Structure 1
């Protein structure tokens, strides 16, 4: 009986908690203020974007005028013009950092993949979280791809597992290009060959995926899987040493917080990371070796697949891009060090 009375009391107390009896005022008021602030934020973003566009146009006109003036001026005026151009470049870098916190139009690639969706992250915390998640994704996928290549090479000589591995490569590089484009929209200064590198790798993996089973495929299969294992190993080394180097440089304020590890050699890697150069150059020349092997297979009398010649050409492009870019960075760094030594002397 006591239990029944307690239940009845609980039911009566609950019946009094109807929507009309609950105070909803603070919730609606808070949401109203939030909507107002959101509209204010949107208006401020539009105003800032418009102002930056106008300032960029003024700087562009000023740079053009200075270039014309430089054609007929003396040495002192030329030094002044160079100083003004340096200031213009500094201002453009400031505008670049400001635009990282403002919504902007996506590039062609992101428009094709995502449509006209705003991918700008407004807080530093969100930007860093996305960057760290990108780095972890690269690390985990590198390990998975290494074990996948080892499994295909030593344990499972099967076309199905090869196709799964090649599909994983296509998906991985496609995902990297999308994530890198989002990071670039948020202020990450990824540029040069290392932006194009993943697009070329996506194409190469796609061609490998479509290469049908046959004698030509079997002749190149082991070489490609061995190369994939070595490439994953080098990327694993690069991740740990580059991330450690970036951490130190960010702590010293010498690098941007959104700088990423890349699959190549950068000038900021020089301190303590030059031991990676032999590994990188060996990988580059292995790409050249892959290209030469495929060109030979393309000239084989039994070769009928278009994929062989296309892969040979793509590996050659990868070799030239990687090798020449790394060589350029090393040459610039050596030259810069020599200039520093001469100035000190």
Structure 2
């Protein structure tokens, strides 16, 4: 037997042994997956059962507290606090268990499990979301700058608006996945991305003409300003969130947002004038479009629709930011009184 054939046989035997080990490892992996699936099902059903009993317990405590003595009231109060503690613990457990997708994710992805099972996976996905948002914001900033100062072709505007549509649609999907995995972004700051995606789609379909060219530079200047403010927000909010997470005052899955929240108060109030200026620019855009819609030569439905979208964005952004500022000022004024 030649030396080369001997080497081939030895190599083949070594490969065979490695293949058997790989088969055994894969078998164990499949077995563990089945065990994990069963544990997930058991945990979910146990949590649902326990939550039902906690609700019943909470109702009984409230009913009993009406006719209780001072000592009994203290005991019932302790039980009530322990019930709240357990409910909070269940919320933390839920973040690591598969959940049914909401309506939006079900329509987009179907019945796919998007729950990430480890903290490392959750943090990695959250960080990727933040980087994606920052990179696309910088790209949109540069593209709006080029379109405003150097290029005035409709097809370049269409590329810019298509990128906006894709960006906001992608954000809505990623945010829905992050919410499923424990991120606490909610309310208007989620909904306004849906409105922005729709507005960008309407701008994309607006045919070139006199009215489009009249509004074009105003829209590009607005986009340039908004992307600049979003870059500012990202850097300052991410620094603030890092500090608060280190102090244990914020959840690890909290995200930067395109608005103002109470945790941004310390050190970030200088952003408020920029934000309010952007909000009123949205109102200005809306009023400009509604005035254009009154012109006799206005035939495009996109004019009124964009006006409505900008008005909705202004209303939501302005009053949500105002409510946060008012709540923060009220809570800050109440602290000295309580002391």
Which of 163, 166, 169 is equivalent to 1:171? 166
Report whether the alignment pairs 1:305 with 2:319. no
**Deviation per CA, 1:72-95, whole angstroms, max 9, x where unpaired?**
658968888777655544433321
Report whether the alignment pairs 1:116 with 2:114. no
Which of 29, 36, 42 is equivalent to 2:31? 36
CA displacement at 1:129 relative to structure 2 = 0.5
Map 1:54-93; keep pairs closer than 5 Å. 54-63=49-58, 87-93=82-88
Give me the whole-angstrom Cα distance separating, in 2, the residues matched to 1:38 and 1:16: 35
**Deviation per CA, 1:253-274, whole angstroms, max 9, x where unpaired?**
1111110000000111111000
Which of 264, 267, 272 is equivalent to 1:269? 264
Change (3 A) 1:163 1:91: same
Report whether the alignment pairs 1:14 with 2:8. yes
**Deviation per CA, 1:218-255, whole angstroms, max 9, x where unpaired?**
11111000000000000000000000000001111111
Give me the whole-angstrom Cα distance separating, in 2, the residues matched to 1:258 and 1:27: 36
CA displacement at 1:14 relative to structure 2 = 1.1
Give me the whole-angstrom Cα distance separating, in 2, the residues matched to 1:44 and 1:107: 23
Map 1:109-258; keep pairs closer than 5 Å. 109-258=104-253
**Deviation per CA, 1:125-144, whole angstroms, max 9, x where unpaired?**
11100000000000000000
**Deviation per CA, 1:48-103, whole angstroms, max 9, x where unpaired?**
01111112223334455566678x65896888877765554443332121111011
Change (3 A) 1:12 1:212: same
**Deviation per CA, 1:176-199, whole angstroms, max 9, x where unpaired?**
000000101111111111111111
Change (3 A) 1:307 1:68: farther
Change (3 A) 1:29 1:66: same
Give me the whole-angstrom Cα distance separating, in 2, the residues matched to 1:332 and 1:80: 33
Change (3 A) 1:47 1:10: same
Give me the whole-angstrom Cα distance separating, in 2, the residues matched to 1:250 and 1:177: 24
CA displacement at 1:342 relative to structure 2 = 1.7
- After TM superposition, the structure 1 stretch with the greater mean CA deviation from structure 2, 75-84 or 237-246, is 75-84
Give me the whole-angstrom Cα distance separating, in 2, the residues matched to 1:306 and 1:68: 58
- After TM superposition, the structure 1 stretch with the greater mean CA deviation from structure 2, 85-94 or 300-309, is 85-94
Which of 306, 313, 316 is equivalent to 2:311? 316
Change (3 A) 1:317 1:74: farther
Task: Name the Cα RMSD after superposition.
Answer: 2.3
Change (3 A) 1:20 1:91: closer
Give me the whole-angstrom Cα distance separating, in 2, the residues matched to 1:17 and 1:75: 83
Change (3 A) 1:85 1:204: farther
Give me the whole-angstrom Cα distance separating, in 1, the residues matched to 2:334 and 2:46: 40
Give me the whole-angstrom Cα distance separating, in 1, the residues matched to 2:282 and 2:311: 7
1:307 is paired with a residue whose SS is helix
Change (3 A) 1:217 1:60: farther
Unaligned runs of at least 5 residues, structure 2: none
Give me the whole-angstrom Cα distance separating, in 1, the residues matched to 2:3 and 2:113: 53
Change (3 A) 1:280 1:42: same
Give me the whole-angstrom Cα distance separating, in 1, the residues matched to 2:194 and 2:63: 39
Give me the whole-angstrom Cα distance separating, in 2, the residues matched to 1:323 and 1:75: 48
